[in-house]
Chains A and B, each alone.
Chain A
Amino acid sequence: MGEPVTLRVNGVERRIEADPATPLLSVLRGRLGLTGTHFGCGTNQCGACNVLIDGQAVAACDTPLWAATGKDVVTVEGLGTPERPHPLQQAFIAEQAAQCGYCLSGILMSAAALLRRNPDPSEAEVRAALDRNLCRCGAHNRIVRAVLRAAKEAKP
C-alpha cells in the first residue's frame, strides 16, 4: 500500500490510502463519492472522465493516483454550484446544450481548461479543444454555442 497520497480535490486537502497505481477516477467516484465524473472507456479515448489537474484537462481513468500527488484536482462538482454556478454551467443550461448529458461533465472540464488559457476562443478553437471529447447524441453544436456564450458572458 505504501505512503498515503496527498492531493487537493475541489479545494480540500485529501490524504488517500490506496495503491498508488489506482486510477484517479476510481478514487474520485469511489472513496470520495464524486460521481459527477463518469467512466466512458477506461483508456483515455472519450473524455467522459476529464477533470482539471493543475488547470489542465486530463482523463482521470488512466491517470494513476500517484500522478496527482500534491496537485490541485477539480471535478465538475468543484466547478460551481446551483447557488454559485460557473459561467459554463449557466451557459450550458441557457443553450440547453445536451441530450443525455453523460458526456457533459468531461466536456465542461475540457471547456474550463480552454477558457483558462484562452478566455476569448474562436469557434474553431472551441471545436479543437473539445475534439477528444466524444458526444454520441449529437449535441455538439449546442455545446460549442454554450462555450462561446460562457466566454462572452465571463468577459468584464
Chain B
Amino acid sequence: MTAQLPTNLAANPRLSRWLRFDARGFVEVSPGKIEIGQGIVTALAQIAADELDVDIARVRMIPATTAASPNEGVTSGSLSVEQSGSALRHASAEARSIYLGLAAQRLGVPAESLQVEDGTIVGPGNLRTSYWELADDALLARDASAGIAAKAPARRRIAGTPVARLDLPDKVFGRPRFVHDLDLPGLLHGRVLKPASPGAKLTSLEEAGARGVAGVIAVVRDGSFAGVVAETEGAAEAGLAALRKGATWSAGFALPDETNIAAWLKSQPADSKTIDAREAPAAAMAARTVRRQYSRPFIAHASMAPSCAIAQRPSPASVHVWSHCQGVYNLRADLAIACALPPESVVVEHVEGAGCYGHNGADDVAFDAVLLARAANGRPVRVQWSRADELAWSPVGAAMAIDLEADLDAGGDIVRWRHEVWSNGHVGRSGRAPIPTVLAASQLAKPFERFISVDPPMANGGGGERNAVPLYEFPAQHISNHRVLNMPIRTSALRTLGAFANVFAIESFMDELAAEAGEDPLAFRLRYLKDPRARAVLEAAAARAGWSTRAKREGVGHGIAFARYKNFGAYCAVVAEVEGAADIRVRRLVAAVDAGEVINPDGLANQIEGGAIQATSWTLLEAVHFDNQRITSDSWETYPILRFSEVPVVEVEIIARPEERALGAGECAHPPTAAAIGNAVAAALGVRVRDLPITRERIIAAMA
C-alpha cells in the first residue's frame, strides 16, 4: 500500500492523462518519458500490462506531446523506470480497481470476487464483462488517490521478463518511425548557416545568390542567424551553399589550448564549493601523501543521425513542433520564451530520433525550424543539420581535470582522501532557466544572453561532482568542485555527466594505491568497501571473469573497477581484459550489475552492453578537437568511434533483486568500464595513462 503518490503522479494526478481504455479492445498508455533508443517504451508497456492484467499486444504506447501527456520533465539520468514506472504502475492499479468497481456493480458481485484475464473481467458463476465493454473515458477523468495497492512483485507476470522491443519491427522493416522520415502535407525543407566559429557575428550577408537558386522560397536572417527555406532538400542545400559564400563573420571566442585542457580549466574563474567533508575524531598521522592528476577531454554525442525537426506556424501566434527532444515540456518552455508566446500557444510532439546520449542538437534544430517557419506561410518546415554541424555545434560533454590525494599512515592505510574537480557546467538544458538555452537564441538581432552551463544539485546526482564522493569508507575526506565560468565551447549533459571522469580517476587511483601497498586491486578495494551490494557486484564480476586465476603475461592485462551510479543508482563492476603494446585492444569486458527490480532483463543487458561498448570508444578514441577558433573534429574521419572489428566481447551478469526498488541503470556501465580499461592497460604495460583518451601517443609518452 502506498501512503503517498509517486512523485510524477502527484505532479500529474489526472488518471486519464496516463491511460485510456478503448472499446475496440486496446488500452492507450501515455507516459511523459520518451524513447531514445533505450527501450523505455517497452519497459513501461510491461509495467502497465502487468498491473492491468492485459496482454502486452493490447497496449498502445502514445508518444509524448504537450497537447496531452503528463509532464515528466526530461528523459534523462537513468530515472525513467524509477519515476515514470512507479507513476504508471500506480495509475494502472487504480484504473484497474475503478473498472473492477464498476464491473462489480454491473454484475452484482463483490469486487474482490473478480479476476482479470487479458482485459476480460471474470466473476463467480462465469459472469463476464471486460475493460472494453465498460470503456468510458469519464471513469478515469479524476485524480489519483493514495493508498492504492499495486501487485506484489511476486505476482507480476510480464515485468521481469525479456519482452521484445515494441519499436523494433518498424525499424527492421524500414517503416517510417523517425522524425527524419516524417512527411506532412506541404512540407518544405530548411537549412541553417552555422557561424564560422563559436561566438562569431554575421557582419554582412549577400542574400541574392541564395534567392536565385531554383526552388528556394525564402532567405531568413535575424541578427547572426541565417537560413533558407526551399521546396526540396536539394534546393535547400544549394541555397545554403550560396548563402555561405555570401556571408562574412567577425572573429569569435578564443578557444583554449587543446593539448593542455587541465591547465586551462584550473586557471579560469570558477564557482567553487565543498561537496563533502569529514574529519576523523582522532586524525591519524600521515606518513606520506600520494598525489595524482587525471583528465578527460570534451566528448561529442556523435549520434548516428544529424539533428532534425519540423516546425509549423499556423499563425504568427502559434507554433507546432515535431522533435526528437528529451523533454517536450522543457523544449516548449524555451520556444515560448524565445518566440515571446505563452506556452499554451506552443505544441511540441515527440517523434523518435537516433540514439540520444544526453543534451544534443535536438532542441537547437527545433528552434532553427521555428525561425525558418516564420517565412513559410503556414507550411511545415523540416530542418536537418549536416554531419559537420552535428559534431561541431551540438553541445559537448565537458572536459575535466581531477586532482586526487591520499594520506597514508605508517602502515600504508589510507587515512585521508582529497578529490578536487575542475570542469565547465554539465547542464545547459532547455526549459529550466529564465532564458532559452537553444543555440540560435543568442544569435538573434535581439539576442538572449548566452547561457553558461550549471551543475544539478547533489540531490539529483550533481554535475562535475557526480560520483566524486567515493563509496569507499576512509576516516577523513574532502571533496570539492570548481565549476568553470568561462565557456567558449558549449557544454551540456552527456551520459554520466562528471561520473565518467571522477570514477576513472578514483578507480585508477585505487589501483595505484593498491600497487604501492603491494596488494591485489580487488582485495584492496574490498578492504575499504562496506556496502554489501557494492561488494557483491565486485565479487560477481571478479568470479565471472576469473580474476583470481587471471593470466599474467607480457602484453595482456586485466583491470577491475566499480561504481554505484550517482551513489544512489545501479551498482556496476567491470573487469576488462586488454592486449597490445602501444596499440591497445580491449578483448573482453565482464560487467556485474545490481539494478534492484529489473523490468526487462534483456533490455537491461542491452543497456549494459551498449554502455560498456560506448565507454570503450570514449576511453580509447574520443576527443573533440579544436584550434584556437573552431572545432575541427567535424566528420567521422576526424571524430572516429569504435568499429565492429574493434568491439570487445561483453558479458553481463545481472544480480536480480526483485524485492528491491528499481535503480536507474542506463549509464552505470560507462564509468567503471573506463577505469577497468585504464587499470588493465597499466597491468599489461606497466605504465599508467591518466589523461583520457588512452591513445597510442599517450601510451608511448608514458613509457618514455
How far is it, in angstroms, between the C-alpha of A76 and the C-alpha of B170 when the chains are bound? 11
User: Across the two chains, which residue of chain B brings its CB closest to A140?
Assistant: B647
Binary interface encoding of chain A residues 10-23 relative to chain B, with 1 for a CB under 8 A from any of its CBs, else 0: 00000000010010
Flag whether B658 is at the interface (Cβ < 8 A).
no
User: Across the two chains, which residue of chain B brings its CB closest to A41?
Assistant: B387
**Of A92, A93, A128, A136, which is within 8 A of B302 by CB?**
A136
State whether A99 touches B610 (Cβ < 8 A): yes
How far is it, in angstroms, between the C-alpha of A103 and the C-alpha of B178 when the chains are bound? 12
State whether B306 touches A39 (Cβ < 8 A): yes
Binary interface encoding of chain A residues 98-119 relative to chain B, with 1 for a CB under 8 A from any of its CBs, else 0: 1111111100100000000000
Q: Which residues on the B side are within 8 Å of A22 (C-beta)?
A: 234
Flag whether B38 is at the interface (Cβ < 8 A).
yes
Flag whether B660 is at the interface (Cβ < 8 A).
no
Flag whether A2 is at the interface (Cβ < 8 A).
no
Say whether, besides A39-B180, A45-B636, A136 and B304 are in contact (CB < 8 Å). yes
Q: Which residues on the B side are within 8 Å of A45 (C-beta)?
A: 387, 635-637
How far is it, in angstroms, between the C-alpha of A143 and the C-alpha of B233 when the chains are bound? 32
How far is it, in angstroms, between the C-alpha of A120 and the C-alpha of B661 when the chains are bound? 45
State whether B355 touches A136 (Cβ < 8 A): yes
Flag whether B337 is at the interface (Cβ < 8 A).
no
Residues of B143-178 at the interface with A, using a CB-CB cut-off of 8 Å, are 162, 164-165, 167-169, 171-178
Say whether, besides A38-B180, A98-B168, A100-B36, A131 and B610 are in contact (CB < 8 Å). no
State whether A36 touches B355 (Cβ < 8 A): no
Q: Which residues on the B side are within 8 Å of A93 (C-beta)?
A: 164, 168-169, 172
User: Across the two chains, which residue of chain A brings its CB closest to B352?
Assistant: A100
Flag whether B609 is at the interface (Cβ < 8 A).
yes
Flag whether B475 is at the interface (Cβ < 8 A).
no
How far is it, in angstroms, between the C-alpha of A105 and the C-alpha of B602 when the chains are bound? 22
Flag whether B303 is at the interface (Cβ < 8 A).
yes
Q: Which residues on the B side are within 8 Å of A76 (C-beta)?
A: 173-174
State whether A141 touches B635 (Cβ < 8 A): no
Q: Which residues on the B side are within 8 Å of A142 (C-beta)?
A: 606, 609
Flag whether B421 is at the interface (Cβ < 8 A).
no
Q: Which residues on the B side are within 8 Å of A50 (C-beta)?
A: none
Say whether, besides A35-B180, A93-B164, A139-B610, A43 and B635 are in contact (CB < 8 Å). yes
How far is it, in angstroms, between the C-alpha of A138 and the C-alpha of B589 when the chains are bound? 13
Flag whether B612 is at the interface (Cβ < 8 A).
yes
Flag whether A77 is at the interface (Cβ < 8 A).
yes
State whether A141 touches B355 (Cβ < 8 A): no
A17 to chain B, nearest CB (A): 13
Q: Which residues on the A side are within 8 Å of B98 (C-beta)?
A: none
Q: Which residues on the A side are within 8 Å of B635 (C-beta)?
A: 41, 43, 45
How far is it, in angstroms, between the C-alpha of A77 and the C-alpha of B175 when the chains are bound? 8
**Of A75, A102, A135, which is within 8 A of B178 by CB?**
A102
State whether B354 touches A100 (Cβ < 8 A): yes
**Of B181, B305, B384, B641, which is within 8 A of A35 by CB?**
B181
How far is it, in angstroms, between the C-alpha of A27 and the C-alpha of B443 when the chains are bound? 34
Most B CB within 10 A of own CB, among A45, A81, A99, A104: A99
How far is it, in angstroms, between the C-alpha of A82 and the C-alpha of B355 when the chains are bound? 24
State whether B644 touches A130 (Cβ < 8 A): yes
How far is it, in angstroms, between the C-alpha of A77 and the C-alpha of B174 when the chains are bound? 6
Q: Which residues on the A side are within 8 Å of B602 (C-beta)?
A: 96
Q: Which residues on the B side are within 8 Å of A35 (C-beta)?
A: 174, 176, 180-181, 183
Q: Which residues on the B side are within 8 Å of A82 (C-beta)?
A: 169, 173
Binary interface encoding of chain B residues 226-239 relative to chain A, with 1 for a CB under 8 A from any of its CBs, else 0: 00000011100000
State whether A96 touches B180 (Cβ < 8 A): no
Q: Which residues on the A side are within 8 Å of B38 (C-beta)?
A: 99
Say whether, besides A45-B635, A102-B305, A105-B174, A138 and B165 are in contact (CB < 8 Å). no
Binary interface encoding of chain A residues 32-69 relative to chain B, with 1 for a CB under 8 A from any of its CBs, else 0: 01111111111101101000000000000000000000
State whether B645 touches A128 (Cβ < 8 A): yes
- Chain A interface: which size bin? 35 or more
Flag whether B498 is at the interface (Cβ < 8 A).
no
Q: Which residues on the B side are within 8 Å of A134 (C-beta)?
A: 304, 636, 641, 643
**Of B169, B172, B304, which is within 8 A of A135 by CB?**
B304
**Of A36, A38, A42, A136, which is within 8 A of B386 by CB?**
A42
How far is it, in angstroms, between the C-alpha of A42 and the C-alpha of B607 when the chains are bound? 29
How many chain B residues touch A (Cβ–Cβ < 8 Å)?
59
State whether A138 touches B178 (Cβ < 8 A): no
Q: Which residues on the B side are within 8 Å of A77 (C-beta)?
A: 173-174
How far is it, in angstroms, between the C-alpha of A16 and the C-alpha of B167 when the chains are bound? 33
Q: Which residues on the A side are within 8 Å of B637 (C-beta)?
A: 45
Say whether, besides A92-B168, A101-B171, A134-B304, A141 and B645 are in contact (CB < 8 Å). no
A-B contact count (CB 8 A): 170
Q: Which residues on the A side are within 8 Å of B353 (C-beta)?
A: 100, 102
Say whether, besides A40-B305, A99-B39, A134-B641, A46 and B172 are in contact (CB < 8 Å). no
How far is it, in angstroms, between the C-alpha of A115 and the C-alpha of B556 when the chains are bound? 34
State whether B183 touches A39 (Cβ < 8 A): no
State whether B175 touches A36 (Cβ < 8 A): yes
How far is it, in angstroms, between the C-alpha of A116 and the C-alpha of B268 when the chains are bound? 58
Most A CB within 10 A of own CB, among B177, B232, B234, B353: B234
A129 to chain B, nearest CB (A): 8
Say whether, besides A102-B305, A142-B606, A46 and B647 are in contact (CB < 8 Å). no
A152 to chain B, nearest CB (A): 18
Q: Which residues on the B side are within 8 Å of A46 (C-beta)?
A: 304, 387, 636
State whether A43 touches B172 (Cβ < 8 A): no
State whether A26 touches B234 (Cβ < 8 A): yes
State whether A102 touches B173 (Cβ < 8 A): no
User: Across the two chains, which residue of chain B brings its CB closest to A92?
Assistant: B172
State whether B305 touches A39 (Cβ < 8 A): yes
Q: Which residues on the B side are within 8 Å of A140 (C-beta)?
A: 613, 642, 644, 647
Q: Which residues on the A side are within 8 Å of B164 (C-beta)?
A: 93, 96
State whether B306 touches A101 (Cβ < 8 A): no
State whether A89 touches B644 (Cβ < 8 A): no
Say whether, besides A98-B171, A138-B612, A141-B609, A41 and B647 are in contact (CB < 8 Å). no
Flag whether B127 is at the interface (Cβ < 8 A).
no
State whether A103 touches B645 (Cβ < 8 A): no
How far is it, in angstroms, between the C-alpha of A60 and the C-alpha of B178 when the chains are bound? 19
State whether B165 touches A137 (Cβ < 8 A): no
User: Across the two chains, which residue of chain B brings its CB closest to A37?
Assistant: B174
Q: Which residues on the A side are within 8 Å of B167 (C-beta)?
A: 101
How far is it, in angstroms, between the C-alpha of A20 and the C-alpha of B641 when the chains are bound? 33
Q: Which residues on the B side are within 8 Å of A38 (C-beta)?
A: 178, 180-181, 304-305
Residues of B601-646 at the interface with A, using a CB-CB cut-off of 8 Å, are 602, 606-607, 609-614, 617, 635-637, 641-645
State whether A96 touches B165 (Cβ < 8 A): yes
Q: Which residues on the B side are within 8 Å of A156 (C-beta)?
A: none
State whether B647 touches A89 (Cβ < 8 A): no
State whether B173 touches A89 (Cβ < 8 A): yes
State whether A138 touches B609 (Cβ < 8 A): yes
How far is it, in angstroms, between the C-alpha of A40 and the C-alpha of B232 when the chains are bound? 18
State whether A104 touches B172 (Cβ < 8 A): yes
**Of B37, B162, B172, B387, which is within 8 A of A137 by CB?**
B37
Flag whether B277 is at the interface (Cβ < 8 A).
no
B600 to chain A, nearest CB (A): 10
Flag whether B650 is at the interface (Cβ < 8 A).
yes
Q: Which residues on the A side are within 8 Å of B169 (C-beta)?
A: 82, 93
Q: Can you list 6 residue pairs at the A/B interface with Cβ under 8 Å?
A: A35-B180, A39-B180, A39-B384, A93-B172, A99-B39, A139-B609
- The 3 lowest CB-CB distance pairs between A and B, nearest first, are A36-B174, A100-B37, A138-B613
13 other A-B residue contacts (CB within 8 Å) besides A39-B384, A130-B644: A26-B233, A39-B180, A82-B173, A89-B173, A101-B168, A101-B172, A101-B177, A102-B171, A102-B355, A128-B645, A137-B614, A140-B647, A141-B609
